[in-house]
A and B are shown apart, each in its own frame.
Chain A
Amino acid sequence: MKKLINDPLRVADEEVEGFVKAFPSYVKKLEDVRVVVRKNAPVQGKVGILVGGGSGHEPFWFGYTGEGMYDAVIVGEIFSSPTPDAAYKGTKAIDGGEGVLYLLGNYEGDKMNLGISKERAEAEGIPIEIVNVTDDVASAPPSQAQERRGIAGNLFVIKVAGAKAEQGGILEEVKNAALKANSNTRTMGVALSPCILPATGRPNFTISEDEMEIGMGIHGEPGIERTKVKSADEVAEILTMKVVNDLPFKGNDEVALLLNGLGSTPLQELFILFRKIEEILTSKKIDIHKALIGNYCTSIDMMGCSLSLMRLDDELKELFDAPADTPYFKM
């Protein structure tokens, strides 16, 4: 493997150090723990929003720390949940007196670790709510939607909840906004290659040169079908139809769209895919309110992409369009 790293065991530490040095006007790091908080935390009178998860998804998670998004990010080791003490310290650092919402990706480790942090914070009188994002349609059938994993569509949930909190929503309102965004968001991904884990130096799964896997998770969780690599138009059609049919999205729906690269797929290919995705949605009279295209939630150096749609109503649209100013997301 070729990687520009120093110590494979210090990758998460060193990337956070670099990120904080790069954006001193936006963020600061807490001492002793891998927690990044917005520069002016805690914001008094505002519900705090805390996200957490393993690293390896850059610029997710820490890249969106700041105004209109979230207040704290707890950074775990690569693909591994962060620890309870870090989450607790992050919670304390952003508590502005209105409670804190944890937005998690519905992974067992995250729920256990952040669950302990929640217990500790609540014992000190800080109200905590948890919303688990479940946008990945490949990870469980609709009948078990609560089992689904959270992937790139998390960005929409963060955007909506972050705006609600910034506008002065109380904890319950911010939580409800997050739940509403989540229930209107669906994502489908495709992987063309594994990613190389720095700590082991090995790919996290094997796939032939001429194959791709539809529905693979962002940590290499198995998908729903492995096939020969198809053309961009065919892949665009598969992803779009899987997403559209799941909610389902219908004619006259208005959507926010995220076409997300997983790390090693160039923007060039994302635009070729988008060309077809737009055509399919237009033919179905689904109106794209805004499209985000780029590497928003990666899987280290995996080749592939995911398509997320969030169905908008007036409230979600207003919150989606509300201002945000963070290192890697601005609106």
Chain B
Amino acid sequence: MHLRIPPISRCDSRGDFLITSIQKEDLLRALGNISKIIAENENYLTELDSAIGDGDHGVNLRRGFDSLNDKLPSFKDKEIHEILVEVGRSLLETVGGSVGVLYGSAIIEAGKAVGDKKEISLDDLVRMVDAAEGAIRSRGQVDVGEKTMLDTIHPFSVALREATEENLHFADTLDRGLEAAKKGLESTKQMVAKKGRAKYLGEKTLGHQDVGATSSYLMIESFVETIKEIDQNSS
């Protein structure tokens, strides 16, 4: 069963009825929704991975997120950073392969970046995504343009930071990020794989969308939609 926490109505301190931060409950709901999206897309991810990889991305991620989803109810009394560290550890231990390490490490570092905050502001989110990106770069020894999850996550990170500097509303900032992530995802079709088992196929990987960039996009999209749904319900 996938966790479904009903939307909560609330307004910010200025009474604008628009969210300015992500609460713990929102985060848990987003994680539940991401688990559901991964399960729904297992076969799609398997297909993408079978084309130029070893075909286990969908199965491994699903196993990890199903397991995470079962644990989410037990996280409700934890602090935000504790939740993220637990989520990261859970993925590290249940996904396996490179993917488990990369997503697990990324989320653990995002948790460390948020510190003891009780809610996640846009500035916090920018730091968290930046920390997650750093974890993927260092663990995976990977750079932008190598046809990996970084090609979705890096543009997302850059767009979030730029939008924050423009003082856009939370939901609009996320939209900017999502748009950039989508472009990043699509750009992987024009890349030659330099990492993972796909790298052995070299030029033959041209035209194929990277599966790691795809699962990253699915997660980001689900996260953004969850937050926007909360935003709409609160206004």
A residues neighboring B (CB under 8 Å): 9, 54, 76-86, 108-109, 112-113, 116, 139, 197, 199-200, 202, 204, 217, 219-222
Contacts and interface: CB of A to CB of B under 8 A. Distances in A.
A220 B54 CA distance: 8
B101 A109 contact: yes
A81 B60 CA distance: 11
B186 interface: no
30 contacts: A9-B59, A9-B63, A76-B96, A77-B56, A77-B59, A77-B60, A79-B56, A81-B100, A81-B101, A83-B94, A83-B100, A84-B92, A84-B93, A85-B93, A86-B93, A108-B196, A109-B96, A109-B97, A109-B101, A112-B139, A113-B97, A113-B100, A113-B101, A197-B56, A200-B46, A200-B59, A217-B200, A221-B200, A222-B200, A222-B204
Contacts of A113: 96-97, 100-101
Given A76-B97, A80-B96, A200-B59, 18 more contacts: A9-B59, A77-B59, A77-B63, A80-B97, A81-B97, A81-B98, A81-B100, A82-B96, A85-B92, A86-B93, A108-B196, A109-B98, A113-B100, A116-B101, A199-B56, A200-B50, A200-B55, A202-B50
A252 to B, nearest CB: 36
Contacts of A109: 96-99, 101
Interface string B191-202: 000011100110
A116 B92 contact: yes
A218 to B, nearest CB: 11
B196 to A, nearest CB: 7
B140 interface: yes
B118 to A, nearest CB: 29
B200 A199 contact: no
A81 B63 CA distance: 14
Nearest to A83: B93
A264 B158 CA distance: 50
B102 interface: yes
A79 B97 CA distance: 8
Interface in B196-213: 196-197, 200-201, 204
Contacts of B97: 54, 76-77, 80-81, 109, 113
A219 B54 CA distance: 7
Contacts of B96: 76-77, 80-83, 109, 113
Nearest to A116: B101
B139 to A, nearest CB: 6
A217 to B, nearest CB: 7
Interface string B75-109: 00000000000000100111111111110010000
Interface centre among B92, B96, B195 (most CB of A within 10 A): B96
A147 to B, nearest CB: 9
B55 A197 contact: yes
Contact of A221 (B60, B197, B204): B197
Contacts of B140: 108, 112
Contacts of B89: 85
Contacts of A220: 54
A249 B167 CA distance: 67
Contacts of A116: 92, 101, 105
Contacts of B196: 108
A197 B53 CA distance: 13
A83 B97 CA distance: 7
Contact of B54 (A82, A83, A84, A204): A204
A330 B15 CA distance: 76
A145 to B, nearest CB: 16
Contacts of A54: 97
Contacts of B201: 222
Contacts of B99: 109
Nearest to B99: A109
A82 B97 CA distance: 7
A222 B53 CA distance: 10
Interface string B94-134: 11111111100100000000000000000000000000000
Contacts of A200: 46, 50, 55-56, 59
Contacts of B204: 222
Interface in B50-82: 50, 54-56, 59-60, 63
A204 B55 contact: yes
Nearest to A219: B54
Interface string B131-146: 0000000011000000
